[in-house]
Every structure is written in structure tokens, then in C-alpha cells.
A = this chain, B = another copy of it.
Amino acid sequence: MATQRILDFIATRRPDGPCMVLDLDVVRENYRAFEKALPDSRIFYAVKANPAPEVLKLLADMGSSFDTASVAEIEMALDAGATPSRISFGNTIKKERDIARAYQLGIRLFAVDCEAEVEKVARSAPGSRVFCRVLTDGEGAEWPLSRKFGCVPSMAVGVLRHAYSLGLDAYGVSFHVGSQQTDLSAWDRALGDAEMVFKTLADEGIVLKMVNMGGGFPTRYLKDVPQAEAYGQAIFGYLRKHFGNTLPETIIEPGRGMVGNAGVVKTEVVLISKKSEDDDKRWIYLDIGKFGGLAETMDEAIRYKIVTPRDGDELAPCVLAGPTCDSADVLYEKTPYPLPLSLTIGDEILIEGTGAYTTTYSAVAFNGFEPLRSYVI
């Protein structure tokens, strides 16, 4: 949603070219909503969603911890004021020299999903805590995850056993139910898997302590989704169901859920055309596309809400595309987007819910276009 502050900023500052404007007040509200919804979970903000220093500083001041994907993100979280104990190196794919660098910086919590990664951590970050990522099926997610991260639960038992045998602190398991997950039962299944790993290892005397429930908390796009509170209650219920009275420590890693709805992309209609005299839909070209920050429109997975100055006028379906000379730079074509027939070249339009996974996805210089500018207000 474009807040009044965002609308005022765009109206007053008149930034030239496409940009993303993010309202910190919304991030603050989101953080408080997560705290309220899951009061017993530690919040590790997924820095990759939006690493703007202002966002990290706000969240660090509010007490957030940070889930990081690289040494650069660890350094950003430290710069924002987080202590090393509030930072996890959550990428399961790490160069051993990056693990060593993170260890030097004080990081003691690492994600793994196979024995080879455990061995790197044991060598270069001895004694650290590790949690093993478990594969989930991703059913119900708008942006389902591939099998890239994690291993099956039975293998996770072996990975954590190996960590224990190498002197690491076999600390827990993690999962991720998929981005924009709207089916709450996905957490039920994943927590059931986690409990199996806990129980199997406990029988061997290895006591896990933590369940990292990842992200997947949806931001509002076009559809109405259950609020953070509903998620919290349901997840708490599943924790009780699987772990009874000995609840593990829990971590959540919201990224999109923390910043997605706080940001709005301002873009401009560059061209409106048809491909033939009898074409039944218009092509509308914007000054931002797949390579300018909207990479998540890949396969039309995410359908952002678009606000135009002509809303209320008669609608007709459009193919929406970006400004580059790349023919793959098309946002919505399989499912054309209904936009006002009165829309005109030069109109400024807003793409809502774009606070996450936009600025950093942007190509560095494709077609000579500069990366997406970002204003944090």
C-alpha cells in the first residue's frame, strides 16, 4: 500500500526515473506485529529482502536479530548495530574462507544441509552452533521453493550427528515453507518433521534446542491473506501438537513479511502500442522491468498491485513489459493485466508491495540502465 508519507514524498520530491520508496513506519508496525504474533520466537530479519542501512538500523534498534546470506550482509548487520550473537549465517552454501571470516567477526550460528558443509564449519568455526535445513514440499506457496536448500529429515539426523561428532553444537533444525505461504498446514507438516529429528537424536543423547521456522510469512499483494496474529496462533498450536510441553527455542526469519508492503515502486508509462491493427490487447511498456528490480515477476509468479492515476476508468487487458531491448523483459503476458483504457504515455503509476527483493535484484547496468534507486523515508 502506498502510505500517505510515500505519496507525499513522490509528489514533493518528484524523483526522476523509476524508484522504490520505502516507509519505515510500516516496517516498524510489521516488526511489532511479528513480536505480538509470536512473542516467544526470536525474529531474525532476512537481510537479503532489503538491506537498506536505514531498515537494518531501525530493526537493530528494535531488538531484531538478522539472518544473513553472505559476509557482506554480516558486515551490514554489524554496521547497523547488531551484536554477533544476534546474527546467523543462514546460507547453506558457504565458501570455507567466508565461514572463517564470519567466525572472526564473532558469528557462532551457521546453517548446514549436508555433511560436507558441517565439515567446513567444524574446521573454520570450531565449536559453533549449527542447524540443519530440512526440505519441505512447498505446497500452498505462491513462490514455491525448489529443492535447492535442505535435505530430507532422515538425512538431517545424520548431518547433525556428524556435527556433534566433530565438536559442533548440534543446535536445531530449520525449514522454509515457501514464500508467500498461505496454507497454514504447511507449518504443521514441517514441525512434524522437525520433531522427528529432535526425537531420533534425543534417543542417542544429542539434545537439539532450536527450531528455525524460516520465512514464508506473506505480504499483501492482491489477495487478502491471514494476518500475522492468525499465523502466530496456528503455528503455536502446531508447536504444542508436536513438542507438547517441552517447546524448543524458536526463530522466525521474515523478509518479505517485514518489508514487502512497506515499499512502492514509482514507474512511468513509456509506450503503449499494439502489434497489429486487430490486436485485442495493448502492450504497455514501463521504465522498470524484470532486469530493473522486478525479477520476481519471473514466470509471472508474483502479481503486484498496480495503481494508476486513471483508476475508475474502463479497464482492458494489457501485456506489461519493461524498457530493455531484451525480449524476455516482459512482466505479465500469460495472464494479461487489466489497466484503464485511458492510460497515457507519461502517466506515473505505482507498483505496490515492492519493498522486498527489488533493489538488490536489479541488474547493475543492463542496457545501460542504472540500478533501481531506493528512498527510505
The distance in angstroms between the C-alpha atoms of A346 and B145, with both chains bound, is 26
Please tell me if the beta carbons of B362 and A95 are within 8 angstroms of each other in the complex. Answer: no
The distance in angstroms between the C-alpha atoms of A170 and B135, with both chains bound, is 59
A295 contacts across to B, CB distance below 8 A:
291, 363
Out of B95, B291, B346, name the residue touching A268 (CB < 8 Å).
B95
Q: Mark A56-78, 1 if CB is under 8 A from B, else 0.
A: 00000000000011111100100
CB distance from A353 to the nearest CB of B (A): 18
A298 contacts across to B, CB distance below 8 A:
298, 328
Q: Which 4 A-B pairs have the closest CB atoms?
A: A72-B368, A114-B273, A70-B368, A145-B327
The distance in angstroms between the C-alpha atoms of A359 and B369, with both chains bound, is 13
Which of A46, A92, A116, A364 counts the most B-chain CB atoms under 10 A from its CB? A364
Please tell me if the beta carbons of A151 and B273 are within 8 angstroms of each other in the complex. Answer: yes
A352 at the interface (CB under 8 A from B): no
The distance in angstroms between the C-alpha atoms of A271 and B23, with both chains bound, is 38
A150 contacts across to B, CB distance below 8 A:
275
Interface residues of A (CB under 8 A from B): 46-48, 51, 68-73, 76, 90-96, 113-114, 116-117, 120, 135, 145-152, 154-155, 158, 268, 270-277, 283, 285, 287, 291, 295, 298, 321, 323-330, 333, 345-346, 359-371
* A16 (CB) vs chain B CBs: closest residue: B97
Please tell me if the beta carbons of A93 and B270 are within 8 angstroms of each other in the complex. Answer: yes
List 15 additional contacts besides A70-B368, A70-B369, A117-B273; criterion CB under 8 Å: A48-B326, A48-B367, A73-B367, A76-B368, A93-B285, A94-B271, A95-B287, A116-B273, A145-B327, A148-B330, A154-B277, A158-B277, A359-B365, A361-B366, A362-B364
* A321 (CB) vs chain B CBs: closest residue: B148
Given contacts A95-B287, A148-B330, contact A324 B69 (CB under 8 A): yes
CB distance from A76 to the nearest CB of B (A): 7
Please tell me if the beta carbons of A369 and B72 are within 8 angstroms of each other in the complex. Answer: yes
A158 contacts across to B, CB distance below 8 A:
277
CB distance from A300 to the nearest CB of B (A): 13
CB distance from A210 to the nearest CB of B (A): 19
The distance in angstroms between the C-alpha atoms of A51 and B135, with both chains bound, is 41
